[in-house]
Each structure stands twice: as C-alpha cells, then as structure tokens.
Amino acid sequence: MSRKLLIALAASGSAALLLGAFAFQYIGGLAPCPMCLWQRWPHGAAVLAGVLALATGWRIWPWLGALAAAATAGIGVFHAGVELKWWQGPTSCTGGGNALSGLSGADLLSTSGPSGVIMCDKVAWAMWGISMAGWNAILSGILVLIWIAAALRRD
C-alpha cells in the first residue's frame, strides 16, 4: 500500500470514529461524559495531520498522526478501566468521587438526580461486552499502526 493511501486510511479512520461518536450523541441520544469528549480531540488532530500530510508531503505529519491516535487510544484504555472499576477516574465524573460537593441540603433530599452530569464510570453502550471507550482504544491502536506504517514508507 502506498504512503498516501495509508495516510488517507488512518485519517479516515479517525474521521469515522469521530463521526460515529457524534452520531451516538446527536442521533442516538447518548450524551458524552467528560472522558468521552477528551477522546474526540486527538481524533480531530489526527484528521488534520492526515490532511496536512497529504497536502504538504512533510514526513513529520504521519508521526504526529500516530501520536494523536496513540493519545486517544490511551485515554480510551484509561476510560475503559474506569468503567470496569479497575482504577479510579476523575472525581468530577465518577461515582466514587466527591460528586456531592456543592450541593445544598435540599439537593441531597431531592429524588431527582443531578442534571447535566454524565458519569464516566457508567457504560452507556457496549457491543460484545466492550464499551465505546474500549472500542475506541482498540480501533485507535490499529490506527497507530497504520500511521506508523505510513511514516516508515519511503514511496
């Protein structure tokens, strides 16, 4: 496979994952948690790296695409671990944190949960037992390999 085709494939993969996340949010009605949003930014950077690599031919862009894909894969692994209760996530969006800080006595007695808080340690959707964060980690890891293959190609 040519270098340009590998770059296009890797950037398109990040674009597809990003579009999928937006589809789950805006069509499926699944609001993202903060860590879900963190995973989106590196995909945008990888798409930009792909566009710039194809436009300029500079050899640094595929390496930066690989770095962006690795970043979102790492966040995905961390997020999946939080969902699986392997480790503690950010206290601002996990059930084990200080989620009650800043609430009044009336808030604590209310039976309607806090609005606008999407918990990072709850799985909103899964396929074959793997959450969206897990799928992002797996697929982004594959994209890292494609980016590296593109970076190492000499054609």
Tell me whether residue 104 is in a domain: no
Indicate whether 40 pLDDT > 90: yes
**Mean pLDDT within 101-106:** 53
Position 138 in a domain: yes
Question: CATH code at 36?
Answer: 1.20.1550.10
**Could you tell me what percent of the chain has a pLDDT over 70?**
86
pTM summary value: 0.81
Tell me what the mean pLDDT of segment 95-118 comes to: 54
pLDDT(143) > 90: yes
- Residue 62's contacts (CB-CB under 8 Å, 6 or more residues apart) are 3, 6, 7, 10, 49, 53, 147, 148, 150, 151
Mean pLDDT of 90-118: 59
For the chain, how many structural domains are there in total? 1
| Structure confidence at residue 104 as a pLDDT band (50, 70, 90) | low
CA triple 73-34-107, angle to 5 deg? 155
Structure confidence by residue, pLDDT tens digits, 45-57: 999 999 999 999 8
Mean pLDDT, residues 60-81: 96
Q: Is residue 129 part of a domain?
A: yes
19 within domain boundaries:
yes
pLDDT recorded at residue 41: 95
Report the C-alpha gap between 6 and 142 in whole angstroms.
12
Would residue 111 count as lying in a domain? Answer: no
Check if the beta carbon of residue 11 is closer than 8 Å to that of residue 143: no
* Lowest-confidence region among 13-17, 72-76, 80-84: 80-84
Q: Are 98 and 90 in contact (CB under 8 A)?
A: no
**pLDDT level of residue 91 (50, 70, 90 thresholds):** confident
Is residue 144 one of the residues assigned to a domain?
yes
Q: Where do we find the tokens 């190609």?
A: 153
pLDDT digits (tens, 9 = 90+) for 125-142: 878 989 999 999 999 999
In a domain, 30, yes or no: yes
Give the residue numbers spanning the domain of 23. Answer: 3-91+117-152
In a domain, 100, yes or no: no
